Amino acid sequence: MCGIVGYIGKRNAVPILLYGLQRLEYRGYDSAGIAVLEKEGTKIIVEKQVGKIKDLHEYLWNKKIEGNVGIAHTRWATHGPPTIENAHPHLSQRGTIAIVHNGIIENYLELKESLEKKGFRFSSETDTEVIAHLIEDEYEKDLLNTVLKVTKKLEGAYALGIISTYEPDKLIGVRKGSPLIVGVGKDENLIASDIPAVLEYTKDIIPLDDNEIAVLTAKDVKLLDFQGKQKEKKILHVTWDISIAEKSGFKHFMQKEIHEQPRTIADTITGFSSQDIEKIFSKLKDISRITVVACGTSFHAGLVGKFWIEKYAKIPVEVDYASEFRYRDYIVDDKTLIFGISQSGETADTRFAMLDAKKKGAKTLALVNVVGSSLSRESDFVLYTYCGPEIGVAATKTFTAQLVVLYLFALKLAEYRGLISEKEFDQKYRNLLHLPTVVESILKEEKEIKNIAYNYTKADDFLFLARGLNYPIALEGALKLKEISYIHAEGYPAGEMKHGPIALIDENMPVVFIAPKDSLYEKTLSNIQEVKARKGKIISIATKGDKVVKDLSDETIYIPKTKDELYPIVSIVPLQLLSYHIATFLGKDVDQPRNLAKTVTVE
């Protein structure tokens, strides 16, 4: 996830671009840059810095760059580490085109190869640079037509901002899969990834849809589809206060991030195969055991991963708290894989557990969200989730993305070990592609979940119960609730209830069951009945249409039917919403809960 902004008008573009970048910093903050067309329009000046927008700001302070047309970018690294070379904007070979990009070009290697054959040299490791060279290569007297031609060659998701010395009176914005809006001003127009970036200059907005292009001059905005057909769209007048707009209209970052999951799940599914799969799996196929080390939510993801890895790759898996693992006399050898899971890639316990195990001869693999984080640099191999920055302290979108990667990891390892065929992998990969739609439909039930949440704001304790693959989701549901609402909650395997926790149940105890129609459904049903017999309040997450569970429960939240093994990825979503709404009803600071930090770099 990155932020882009562009300006064309009568004023100096530089301060306007910097202001826009500051409003988009939540989208990424590892490097930033601007490109401005010099007044005569014959040269594009590009300036970049590694670090936050304020570093770029300070760097530009004495440079006195001026121009009325420009684009800018704040980066959250995906392809290539955060360096000046990889920072945007990217220039074409002869400096005629500058481009900023948010998204991923999936076929960039192919495009790069054919451009290199034509003599183009690349100065970055990004997937973006190919677009600048392609436009320069294909340009024939008309920038818009060239951009239209180039979009046909690009696969993946992108929002682009483009300026050119060929036609210095134009700024072009393109959207396919990544957000882009046009800000319509008086004698000036803007593009941006999100509304806050333009609010200072205009409140008249045109949000672009997928497969749309905007051609901006200082006086005019022309909208077209990818076939070049002109479109008319209504201008939206926003009355937003900037602080709300930063959360894109959501009350909290946590709520926004819960709602981003259809996109982050989709990005992580497609991002998986863009990684160095051959290098990772050819080296890992002969390992004899795996220990997952992680903390908090990432630990829960590891517990689900264990089921998938043992089932498909047939390798024994242990899952350990990083803070426990590193202090015991664990046994590893060169056939042991230590698999560290960490959103931030900076959690001290996870890092030091991995470093220690590596020293003792184990192989190490990190699954992180933050590109360039310590864990990603210190491990032998890295896999990524593609979520963009997670700002809410409670992990939400990164958890579901971790599950997606763990599932694909298990399958890919099985394929490399000859346990499933490439065709079977592809089939299961394709099954994942419906998950964004499933999650989307759960998010549509938010109002209903909010009503349920209201009924439980007075509870002092909660139990979360489930079996099998969904048992870690009970743990995660309980963690979400306690960390943001400060209500005591415990997660348990449902079958363990009768060995102790059942003593807690009375008419004041809400018990959340995750009870999808999977192979353990009948067993979970018996546990629901046991709670009902003791007058506990039952809140069930059940498969759509399941009347039996509904009749036994005080509240039922339906989730769509999916493959048994994929339920954990979707069943957590209603629990995230339930916790969120209980906490907001209680007036808690959900984005920054007391005593917690997003990244725990202390041991």
Any idea which residues carry the catalytic annotation? 2, 598
State both tokens at 506.
């009375």
The nearer residue to ligand F6R, 191 or 575, going by C-beta atoms, is 575
Contact 45, 67 (CB under 8 A): yes
Question: For 46-167, where are the alpha helices, taking DSSP H only?
Answer: 53-60, 108-117, 129-138, 143-151
DSSP class of residue 86 equals T
The nearer residue to ligand F6R, 322 or 511, going by C-beta atoms, is 322
The nearer residue to ligand F6R, 354 or 395, going by C-beta atoms, is 395
Count of beta carbons in the 10 Å neighbourhood of residue 169: 13
The nearer residue to ligand F6R, 89 or 472, going by C-beta atoms, is 472
The nearer residue to ligand F6R, 7 or 29, going by C-beta atoms, is 29
The nearer residue to ligand F6R, 394 or 570, going by C-beta atoms, is 394
Q: Which residue is nearest to ligand F6R, using beta carbons?
A: 296
DSSP class of residue 89 equals P
Report in angstroms how near the CB of residue 485 gets to ligand F6R at its nearest.
12
Report in angstroms how near the CB of residue 589 gets to ligand F6R at its nearest.
14
Report in angstroms how near the CB of residue 19 gets to ligand F6R at its nearest.
31
Please report where in the chains the tokens 């945007």 appear, as a residue. Answer: 88
CA dist 354 and 374 (Å) reads 11
Report in angstroms how near the CB of residue 576 gets to ligand F6R at its nearest.
10
CA dist 305 and 292 (Å) reads 9
Beginning with the edge strand found earlier in the chain, give each strand of the sheet holding 212-216 in spatial order.
Answer: 90-91, 97-105, 156-164, 171-176, 212-216, 221-225, 230-231
Query: How many Cα atoms within 13 Å fall on the side-chain side of residue 472?
Result: 22
Report in angstroms how near the CB of residue 483 gets to ligand F6R at its nearest.
6
Report in angstroms how near the CB of residue 28 gets to ligand F6R at its nearest.
17
Q: What is 370-418 written as a DSSP string?
A: STT-HHHHHSSEEEE-------SSS--HHHHHHHHHHHHHHHHHHHHTT
| Residues across the chain | 603
**Contacts with ligand F6R, residue ranges (CB under 6 A):** 295-298, 342-344, 347, 350, 394-395, 479, 483, 599-600
Contact 93, 40 (CB under 8 A): no
